[in-house]
Chains A and B, each alone.
Chain A
Amino acid sequence: MTRLAITYALLMALALASWLVVPAGYALPIAAVKAGLIVAVFMDLARAHPVPRIAALVALLLFALLCAGTYADVATR
């Protein structure tokens, strides 16, 4: 339970920082950190069986692939 509370506090801190303090340039990296925390702790992927971990990794890889392929096409035209 304390593990969850600490993570929750961290997430709220990061959200508030990204919102009020930190310049816009860091918004996406902070979002990535928060996403990582949610997946690892709240969704308990850190201690999960390898199969869900592989599924999450492949989904993330394909998500990034589609965004990168589309962005690269427009950016390098």
Chain B
Amino acid sequence: MSEPTAPPPSFWTEPRGVRTWLATTDHKRIAILFFVGTALALMLGGTFALILRVELVVPDHGIVGAHAYDKLFTHHGIVMVWMFMIPAIPGVFGNFLVPLMIGANELAFPRLNRASFWVYATGACITLAALIGGGVDTGWTFYTPYSTTTPTAVAVVCVGVFVLGISSVMTGLNFIVTVHTRRAPSVPWMKLPLFVWTIYATSIILVLATPVLGLSLALVGADHVWHLGLFDPAAGGDPVLFQHLFWFYSHPAVYIMVLPAMGVVSEVVSTFAHNRPASYGGIVVATIGIALVGFFTWGHHMFVAGMSMFDTGMFGALSMFVAVFSAIKMFAWVITFYRGRVVLAAPVLYVFTFLFLFLFGGMTGVAVATSSLDVHWHDTYFIVAHFHFIMVGATLTAYLAALHYWFPKLTGRRYSEVWARRAAVAVALGFVGTFLPQFLLGNAGMPRRYYAYPEEWQWLHVASTCGAGLLALGLGTTLVYLGVALRRGPPSGDDPWQSRGFEWRTPSPPPAVAFSAPPVWERDAYSYEDEVP
């Protein structure tokens, strides 16, 4: 980390030396370590995505062969899901901000927090070693019996992802105990910032769902090495049962990815509308509702997999309930702008993108949950577009919103607003250009994970690849101007956005020990009433 020019002492400079950074238990420094790790994962996963998109420009052999293509989309999935989407917002912004938002100096277990980063780094290294050492071609879903019979490095990747899962459980455990036992007296439950609520709800899923993923991947890894035959049809095994175990984790996992993003949006909307969130209680109920009801809907991934009609009916109906909670939040966010004082800046531009893309991502989810339409759309590019609308459209844009909104908090500097807006527009247009054509490809019937496709769909792929180029350009620009701002950005002051959020009531960047005594905050985190004459 470069030394800012003679700033006041902060957690950046407090104990000097690289060794103190590597062995740190300071939640702020661990957040920076997580930022470096997840940003590298995002770039690696993004590179895989770009290669895939360039390959798909031609209907048949392009720049890589079929087997290499299969490995690329698998690695893209694994790196993005487990090394960026799941750890990013909780690991970076959860670690940094939750203590500041509840008036605590540290998480409940600082050493466990340090361990969760280094277990994450270990898991990432094991997984990357397997990817470099030969790679895996099963798709990130590891469906048996293909995953237990393909001669690729499945066992090692299973170990790697298992270790990443352990890191998830550690992080979740730490946040839950912190929110329960480290809140300052002036931060009771119903005055908790909404971002802390979403990190708390995400932690519940992290702690309760990850073990089932650990088990299913352990069984696949063990079956790959010792041929247990647990899912082997020849030995009477049933591949659909593996899918039950896998999706019991993987659907709540998509809520692990989107809930923290919703927390960021709640904070940014409230600050840039300078208004109390439309329905604090409604958003909290929706947050906890998503976390719990999210466990009831995994079967909608298996409508055409050979699951019984009874289960198909049950899971379809239950999926509609979890969709309602997202709808409540959408209404609440939009209404928050009513009678506010709206300030436009890069974070809120990303939030507008989030609102637009999350609406269509969510509604296509409802469309698929009707179960009859899923028979046509399942495993086609319609589904690819649906989950990218949520994962990239919602979570990545919220991650960028968070990055810009809390950049002054983390670094004490301002980024270039002009470049930030250009990048935001490029990211939004690039995203729509990439994934709108994929909805049409899905309607036309192009299946997922297709290396070669009929010629008549080529123009859609070319459009999608152009969109991907623009999206990559937007993200690259963001990297550049944020890097520049890190060195030469003008000082931002402690609260550049005039936000009432608790995290802005400590100096930016905060010192190593933020609170000498538990803070006493009379006004809560959304008290903009004093702006009203």
From A58, A65, A76, give the contact of B308 (CB < 8 A): A76
Let me know if A9 is at the binding interface, CB within 8 A: no
From B244, B292, B307, give the contact of A58 (CB < 8 A): B292
B300-325 interface code vs A (CB 8 A; 1 in, 0 out): 00000011111100110000000000
B231-253 interface code vs A (CB 8 A; 1 in, 0 out): 00000001011001100100000
A72 near B212: Cβ-Cβ < 8 Å: no
Number of A-B contacts (CB under 8 A): 44
Rounded to whole angstroms, the CA-CA distance of A62 and B307 in the bound complex is 20
CB-contacts of B201-257 with A (<8 A)? 204, 208, 212, 238, 240-241, 244-245, 248
B296 near A70: Cβ-Cβ < 8 Å: no
Let me know if B299 is at the binding interface, CB within 8 A: yes
Contact A74:B208 (CB < 8 A) given known A62-B295, A65-B295, A69-B299: no
Contact A72:B308 (CB < 8 A) given known A65-B296, A66-B248: yes
B275-313 interface code vs A (CB 8 A; 1 in, 0 out): 000000000000000001001101100000011111100
Let me know if B339 is at the binding interface, CB within 8 A: no
Contact A69:B308 (CB < 8 A) given known A51-B180, A58-B208: no
Contact A59:B208 (CB < 8 A) given known A69-B299, A72-B308, A76-B309: yes
Q: Which residues of A contact B296 (CB under 8 A)?
A: 65
A37-68 interface code vs B (CB 8 A; 1 in, 0 out): 00000000000000100000011001001100
B241 near A76: Cβ-Cβ < 8 Å: no
B308 near A77: Cβ-Cβ < 8 Å: yes
Q: Which residues of B contact A62 (CB under 8 A)?
A: 208, 295
A76 near B180: Cβ-Cβ < 8 Å: no
How near does chain A come to B29, taking the closest CB pair, in angstroms?
A: 29
From B238, B295, B299, give the contact of A74 (CB < 8 A): B238
Q: Which residues of A contact B295 (CB under 8 A)?
A: 62, 65
- In the complex, residue of chain B having the shortest beta-carbon distance to the beta carbon of A75: B308
A76 near B310: Cβ-Cβ < 8 Å: yes
Q: Which residues of A contact B241 (CB under 8 A)?
A: 70, 74
Q: Which residues of A contact B299 (CB under 8 A)?
A: 69, 73
Choose among B208, B212, B306 the residue with the greatest number of A CB atoms under 10 Å from its CB: B208
B128-170 interface code vs A (CB 8 A; 1 in, 0 out): 0000000000000000000000000000000000000000000
Rounded to whole angstroms, the CA-CA distance of A72 and B310 in the bound complex is 8
Rounded to whole angstroms, the CA-CA distance of A65 and B293 in the bound complex is 11
B244 near A73: Cβ-Cβ < 8 Å: yes
How near does chain B come to A38, taking the closest CB pair, in angstroms?
A: 21
- In the complex, residue of chain A having the shortest beta-carbon distance to the beta carbon of B306: A77
Contact A73:B298 (CB < 8 A) given known A58-B292, A59-B208, A62-B208: no
B208 near A69: Cβ-Cβ < 8 Å: no
Q: Which residues of A contact B310 (CB under 8 A)?
A: 72-73, 76
How near does chain B come to A14, taking the closest CB pair, in angstroms?
A: 29
Q: Which residues of B contact A58 (CB under 8 A)?
A: 204, 208, 292
Rounded to whole angstroms, the CA-CA distance of A72 and B298 in the bound complex is 14
Q: Which residues of B contact A65 (CB under 8 A)?
A: 295-296
How near does chain B come to A6, taking the closest CB pair, in angstroms?
A: 33
Rounded to whole angstroms, the CA-CA distance of A73 and B299 in the bound complex is 10
CB-contacts of A6-37 with B (<8 A)? none
From B204, B212, B238, B309, give the contact of A66 (CB < 8 A): B212
Contact A69:B311 (CB < 8 A) given known A51-B180, A58-B292: yes
Rounded to whole angstroms, the CA-CA distance of A43 and B292 in the bound complex is 25
Q: Which residues of A contact B307 (CB under 8 A)?
A: 73
Q: Which residues of A contact B248 (CB under 8 A)?
A: 66, 69
Contact A73:B311 (CB < 8 A) given known A58-B208, A66-B248: yes
A72 near B314: Cβ-Cβ < 8 Å: yes
Q: Which residues of B contact A59 (CB under 8 A)?
A: 208
B308 near A70: Cβ-Cβ < 8 Å: no
- In the complex, residue of chain A having the shortest beta-carbon distance to the beta carbon of B208: A62
How near does chain A come to B230, taking the closest CB pair, in angstroms?
A: 13
Choose among B212, B314, B315 the residue with the greatest number of A CB atoms under 10 Å from its CB: B314
B interface residue numbers (CB < 8 A to A): 180, 204, 208, 212, 238, 240-241, 244-245, 248, 292, 295-296, 298-299, 306-311, 314-315
14 contacts between A and B (CB under 8 A): A51-B180, A59-B208, A62-B295, A65-B296, A66-B212, A69-B311, A69-B315, A70-B245, A72-B311, A73-B240, A73-B299, A73-B310, A74-B308, A76-B308
Since A73-B308, A73-B310, A76-B310 are in contact, a sample of 13 more A-B pairs with Cβ atoms closer than 8 Å, ordered by chain A residue number, is A51-B180, A58-B208, A65-B295, A66-B212, A66-B244, A69-B315, A72-B310, A72-B314, A73-B240, A73-B307, A76-B308, A76-B311, A77-B308
- In the complex, the 3 A-B pairs of residues with the closest C-beta atoms, listed nearest first: A76-B310, A76-B308, A73-B311
